[in-house]
């Protein structure tokens, strides 16, 4: 294995292989820490995702804390919605090459759908739920001739999860517990240009995987008006099977000319990712019938993401061999701090607001333009309308600002300054049968 790794370090495609490890293992967006996306319900987004206590929850509690299901109205509840995300970033540098030009990431919007259904058994504490959402995902696009084209051109990742749950409340609804199972299908795509060649061929990488895991939730109400909630999603081992192709065009349709195809041959590969656990907690207090506030604290076990390996059946630069690229990531566990409020202005209108601070889980030297990473501050706001007795519309807006991050001593040899931000809108329609 040692001679294979030495060969890989000697080939000009090594930065691309390292980047592929990142795109398959960091489905990251500016909206959430690490691999996570939280935008799975307009009410929750309006409150800065501080909804783990489940006070006043809607059916999206299936994602945020399934122990909230017994607090829904008796009978069937259905929610459908979408959250368009618009992440943006700029890069100034590379400073280690005495350059200071600024490049902006291409505009690219991502619609995240969410769908929930629940049934609360009448006159009991028993409830069932089913959620479909996109908990992991990201996408970036840079000009095909920009300075960092050998690290990143196009990155896209999406994971769709189906999550059935069951919950039960007892002791006069003072305690509620829930457990669920998850089935996730993930797909990833990366496009870059191969350095050190006159034509700079395009490397196109794609992979898919499936995994089963579980989640659980708990809600306590020790005194009237005070609720404490916690929700846990277990770490999962996602296995990707993928393929690498080399072309002379960004669309991936034109094969390499003779000579180059002897060095870079299309072929299968794969990797396995130990995605971290996710613990969400919240404590809320209802100051009056009209106003409540929640403080939230999330903790994500990113330390599971310490080293990644990717397998190539046909090594770039030496396609007669197979082997692995080993890439240390050295992530560490990080918190997110949340604040959410809700005010019932009238029988038909609720007004909400929130904020959060998300701590970056990786050192600056591992940051690169595939998906710029930074500490983030989020501000959110939204409203809820009772259109009829049974039909509710929730709408919200979120702005996320990534604190400027300067990279020195980059693991990828690409020092510079990143600035990132994002806008998101969300709308959800709920119907209670």
- pLDDT tens column, 64-103: 999 999 999 999 999 999 999 998 999 999 998 877 789 9
pLDDT tens per residue across span 253-270: 888 887 787 888 888 977
Over 60: is that where the pLDDT of 10 sits? no
- The confidence band for 246, taking pLDDT boundaries of 50, 70 and 90, is confident
Residue 21 has pLDDT above 80, yes or no: no
Mean local confidence (pLDDT), 49-75: 97
Domains within the chain, CATH numbers bracketed: 2-432 (2.40.160.60)
Give pLDDT, residue 34: 54
HEC readout, the chain: CHHHHHHHHHCCCHHHHHHHHHHHHCCCCCCCCCCECCCCCHHHHHCCCCCCCCCCCCCCHHHHCHHHHHHCCCEEEEEEEEEEEEEEEEEECCHHHCCCCEEECCCCCEEEEEEEEEEECCCCCEEEEEEEEEEEEEEEECCCCCCCCCCCCEEEEEEEEEEEEEEEEECCCCEEEEEEEEEEEEEEEEEEECCCCCCCCEEEEEEEEEEEEEEEEEEEEEECCEEEEEEEECCEEEEEEEEEEEECCCCCCCECCCCHHHCCCCEEEEEEEEECCEEEEEEEEECCCCEEEEEEEEEECHHHCCEEEEEECCECCECCCCEEEEEECCCCCEEEEEEEEEEECCCCEEEEEEEEEECCCCCHHHCCCCCCCCCEEEEEEEEEEECCCCEEEEEEEEEEEEEEEEECCCCCCCCEEEEEEEEEEEEEEEEEC
Of all residues in the chain, the percent with pLDDT exceeding 70 is: 91
The more confident residue out of 206 and 126 is 126
């Amino acid at each position: 294995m040692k001679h294979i790794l030495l060969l890989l370090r000697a080939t000009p495609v090594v930065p691309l292989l390292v980047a592929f490890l990142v795109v398959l293992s960091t489905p990251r967006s500016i909206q959430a820490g690490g691999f996570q996306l939280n935008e799975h319900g307009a009410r929750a987004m309006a409150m800065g995702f501080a909804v783990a206590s489940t006070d006043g929850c809607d059916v999206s509690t299936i994602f945020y804390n399934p122990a909230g299901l017994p607090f829904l109205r008796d009978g069937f509840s259905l929610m459908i919605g979408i959250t368009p995300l618009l992440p943006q970033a700029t890069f100034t540098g590379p400073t280690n090459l005495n350059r200071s030009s600024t490049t902006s990431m291409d505009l690219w919007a991502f619609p995240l759908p969410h769908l929930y259904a629940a049934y609360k058994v009448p006159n009991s504490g028993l409830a069932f739920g089913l959620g479909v959402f996109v908990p992991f995902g990201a996408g970036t696009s840079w000009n095909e001739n920009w300075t960092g084209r050998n690290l990143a051109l196009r990155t896209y990742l999406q994971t769709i999860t189906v999550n059935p749950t069951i919950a039960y409340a007892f002791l006069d609804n003072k305690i509620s517990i829930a457990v669920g199972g998850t089935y996730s299908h993930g797909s990833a795509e990366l496009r870059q240009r191969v350095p050190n060649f006159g034509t700079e061929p395009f490397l196109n990488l794609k992979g898919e995987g499936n995994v089963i895991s579980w989640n659980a939730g708990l809600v306590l109400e020790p005194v009237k008006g005070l609720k404490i909630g916690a929700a846990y999603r277990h770490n999962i081992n996602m296995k990707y099977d993928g393929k690498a192709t080399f072309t002379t065009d960004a669309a991936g349709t034109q094969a390499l000319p003779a000579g180059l195809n002897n060095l870079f041959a299309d072929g299968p590969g794969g990797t396995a990712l130990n995605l971290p656990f996710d613990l969400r907690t919240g404590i809320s207090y209802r100051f009056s019938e009209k106003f409540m506030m929640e403080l939230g604290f999330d903790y994500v076990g990113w330390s599971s993401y310490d080293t990644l390996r990717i397998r190539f059946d046909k090594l770039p630069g030496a396609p007669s061999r197979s082997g692995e690229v080993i890439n240390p990531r050295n992530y560490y566990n990080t918190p997110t701090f949340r604040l959410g409020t809700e005010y019932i202005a009238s029988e038909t209108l609720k007004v909400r607001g929130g904020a959060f601070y998300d701590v970056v889980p990786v050192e600056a030297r591992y940051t690169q333009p595939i998906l710029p990473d930074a500490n983030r501050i989020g501000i959110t706001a939204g409203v809820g309308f009772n259109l009829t007795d049974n039909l509710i519309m929730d709408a919200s807006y979120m702005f996320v600002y990534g604190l400027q991050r300067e990279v020195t001593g980059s693991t990828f040899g690409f020092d510079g300054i990143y600035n990132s931000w994002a806008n998101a809108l969300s709308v959800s329609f709920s119907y209670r049968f």
